Amino acid sequence: MVSEQKEPFVIRGKLFTSLDDGENNEYLYDDNGVMVVNNEGRILFVGSTVPDEYSHYKVVNTQHLIIPGFVDAHVHYPQLPVIASYGASLLEWLDKYTFPEEVRYGDRSYAVARAAKFLALILEKGVTSAAVFSTIHDVALEALQVSNRDFGLNLVSGITGMDRGAPDQLLADLPAFKEINQKAIERSRDIERFSYAITPRFALSCSEKMLDYCGQLLESDQSLLMQTHINETEDEILATAALFPKVSDYLDVYASFGLLGNRSLFAHGIHNTKLEYEKWAAAGASVIHCPTSNTFLGSGLFDANGYISKEINVSLGSDVGGGFSLNPFVTMAEAYKVAKLRGQVLCPLRLMYWHTLGGAKAIHQEESVGSLAPGKYADFCLVDITSDDVGSEIWERAATVQDKLFSLMFAMPDSKNRIVATFTAGILRWHDKIQSGL
């Protein structure tokens, strides 16, 4: 933690935010904008001139671009060391690289060290909210929660439920899972800026009994979210169909156990049938598009138009360690490239929306995070628009806000990080001391 900001303040600089009203690429951009933050870390005002009532507040001037903190809506904190695992596709990659690493999180001290490193890294990338997969071990989830006291991120997580298809150390039978899960839910209720997500890993690692329990829990407690994986690879889909022969498609596996609803976050959703898109839309569930994972593992090309045309809420996730980068600008650039390979063009305004407000909607917190708007948490970051090879030239030449944002995604500095400071709830949590000017 860098500083405890207790005083209200005004920050002035170039300011961009997507807007809440619909997914039609509406935004606010001001070359010389201001944001007023109160002493509780909430935004009081966003606009061009500081209202008189706040004129006595301290003013921080920045030459950097002020944007809302990103929402990484699907990421596995135990998988950082799994990045760059060579040659495999999903199911082999899980067995060969991922499960052996996840086994280590039964060790509290290992988990604590990894959790702290993970949180530090996402904060440096401008992420202020994240829906995180942990492991089956309660000590691993607790490590994330305890470490976050020093970082102040807005987190969603839960115990990763698995009772088959993995090494024994990653499995818990139903009575054991119920016990761990219930304990974790109770503990989580008292934790600030933490929301619990029931987390059955995916259909292949959960028995019918486990999925049924997860569905009942989701139904019985409206404060809970549910996160899982779906339709990521052809092999996974075939194996799932073989294990659940009675249902019509992969989404129906989850639906039949009460896991398809508007508090459901499904990662990937690449190989959907037409009917799956329809059921998905009708349920109001969110999809988390994880493009760096999909290209790295060779899982397939996400059909953005399939979701957009059905008005399904889309968010973006790094899916580290299937994904190879925690950097939201890399994720957005990869989403653009994946769409291009399908003959689709994704507007940078939409990509920014997906990685901020789309994520906020997925975790049911669009009232409090995801954009710079009065009443929301002052979760934001500062982006250095001069740090690529040609300084701010590309940014300045770009005629539209859309093109300016696009340059941030593709004219990446060598360091691959344009973020120079990250704030959560108005508190400066991380900054590059030289570049940030703070």
- Answer yes or no whether residue 231 interacts with ligand GUN by CB under 6 A: no
Q: Which of 181, 293, 295, 371 binds ligand GUN (CB under 6 A)?
A: 293
Say whether the peptide bond before residue 391 is cis (omega within 30 degrees of 0): no
409 within 8 A of 383, measured Cβ to Cβ:
no
Q: Which of 319, 334, 384, 388 binds ligand GUN (CB under 6 A)?
A: 319
Q: Which does 202 bind (CB under 5 to 8 A by kind): Zn ion, ligand GUN, none?
A: ligand GUN
Element holding 431 (H helix, E strand): strand 427-431
Tokens at 76, concatenated:
């596995």
Size of the site for Zn ion (CB under 5 A): 2
* Helix/strand number for the chain, H first, E second: 16, 16
Which residues make Cβ contacts (< 8 Å) with residue 362, sequence separation at least 6? 71, 73, 131, 265, 286, 288, 313, 315
CB of 229 to ligand GUN, least distance (A): 4
Tell me which DSSP letter residue 98 carries.
I
Nearer to Zn ion, 102 or 366 (CB): 102
Q: Which residue's Cβ has the minimum distance to ligand GUN?
A: 322
CB of 91 to ligand GUN, least distance (A): 8
- Answer yes or no whether residue 236 interacts with Zn ion by CB under 5 A: no
Q: Is 337 left (phi over 0), alpha (psi -120 to 50) or beta?
A: alpha
Nearer to ligand GUN, 34 or 290 (CB): 290
Q: Which does 118 bind (CB under 5 to 8 A by kind): Zn ion, ligand GUN, none?
A: none
CB of 425 to ligand GUN, least distance (A): 30
Element holding 80 (H helix, E strand): none
CB of 207 to ligand GUN, least distance (A): 15
Binding to Zn ion (CB under 5 A) within 10-69 occurs at none
Nearer to ligand GUN, 237 or 314 (CB): 237
- Answer yes or no whether residue 232 interacts with Zn ion by CB under 5 A: no
CB of 98 to ligand GUN, least distance (A): 5
CB of 426 to ligand GUN, least distance (A): 34
Q: Which does 90 bind (CB under 5 to 8 A by kind): Zn ion, ligand GUN, none?
A: ligand GUN
User: Amino acid identity of 263?
Assistant: R
Query: Given the rule CB under 6 A, which of 11-19, 90-98, 174-182, 346-354 is the region that contacts ligand GUN?
Result: 90-98
Alpha helices in 274-392 (DSSP H): 274-283, 291-296, 304-308, 328-341, 348-355, 357-362
Q: Which of 76, 137, 263, 418 binds ligand GUN (CB under 6 A)?
A: 76
Binding to ligand GUN (CB under 6 A) within 232-271 occurs at 232
Tokens at 411, concatenated:
């004219």
User: Amino acid identity of 396?
Assistant: E
DSSP assignment of 238-298: HHHHHH-TTSSSHHHHHHHTT--STTEEEEE--S--HHHHHHHHHHT-EEEE-HHHHHHTT
- Answer yes or no whether residue 322 interacts with ligand GUN by CB under 6 A: yes
- Answer yes or no whether residue 118 interacts with ligand GUN by CB under 6 A: no
- Answer yes or no whether residue 370 interacts with ligand GUN by CB under 6 A: no
CA–CA separation, 233 vs 138, rounded Å?
A: 29
Q: Is 239 left (phi over 0), alpha (psi -120 to 50) or beta?
A: alpha
Size of the site for ligand GUN (CB under 6 A): 11
Tokens at 344, concatenated:
């689709």
- Answer yes or no whether residue 126 interacts with ligand GUN by CB under 6 A: no
Binding pattern for the stretch 266-305 against Zn ion, x by CB under 5 A and - elsewhere: -x--------------------------------------
CB of 330 to ligand GUN, least distance (A): 16
Nearer to ligand GUN, 10 or 130 (CB): 130
Q: Which of 90, 111, 335, 411 binds ligand GUN (CB under 6 A)?
A: 90
Give the CA dihedral 354, 360, 366, 370, nearest 10 degrees.
-70
Q: Which residues pair with 47 in a beta bridge?
A: 34
Q: Which does 324 bind (CB under 5 to 8 A by kind): Zn ion, ligand GUN, none?
A: none
- Answer yes or no whether residue 72 interacts with ligand GUN by CB under 6 A: no
- Answer yes or no whether residue 188 interacts with ligand GUN by CB under 6 A: no
383 within 8 A of 64, measured Cβ to Cβ:
yes
- Answer yes or no whether residue 319 interacts with Zn ion by CB under 5 A: yes
CA–CA separation, 113 vs 117, rounded Å?
A: 6
Q: Is 231 left (phi over 0), alpha (psi -120 to 50) or beta?
A: left
Give the residues lining the site for ligand GUN (CB under 6 A).
76, 90, 94, 98, 201-202, 229, 232, 293, 319, 322
Give the residues lining the site for Zn ion (CB under 5 A).
267, 319
